[in-house]
Amino acid sequence: MSVETEITIIPFLVVKDALSAIDFYMNAFGATVPEKYTNEGRTMAKISVGNASFWIGDEEPEFNNFSPQTIGGSPVRIVLTTPDPDTIFDKALHSGAIQICPVTVEESWKIGKLQDPYGHTWEIGCPLT
């Protein structure tokens, strides 16, 4: 592999209502939407939060792409690292997220856990070292 080749991993979150989810992430996390596509009544979009990004899209049962709401939860937790976890955590709660654990100090992290309105679990925090 050459030095010029970059390897990345970008999550793709499946939801029941991508348009609503896009609004949630914009309000809760200050996200921007550099790309958005609609095809056959389904929406998918690239979401950017700071220098990080992920994709969001409507369910596609014919391709086994189901949301946490449909399958009864998700085995994945997403960690959003920010210098100000309290503000983003509070904005997410005011935007419709459900608190799982408040923002506290655990070992060398200040971190809180919440579930977004679409069933995805987020840990929002920052290292203290």
Domains of the chain, start order: 12-61+69-127 (3.10.180.10)
Residue 5 has a pLDDT of 78
State the pTM of this model.
Answer: 0.91
pLDDT digits (tens, 9 = 90+) for 5-63: 789 899 999 999 999 999 999 999 999 999 999 999 999 999 999 999 999 999 999 99
Among 79, 20, 55, 22, residue whose Cα is nearest residue 88: 79
Residues 6+ apart with CB under 8 A from 128: 105, 108, 109, 110
Q: What is the mean pLDDT of residues 66-90?
A: 96
Phi, psi of 85, rounded to the nearest 5 degrees: -65, -30
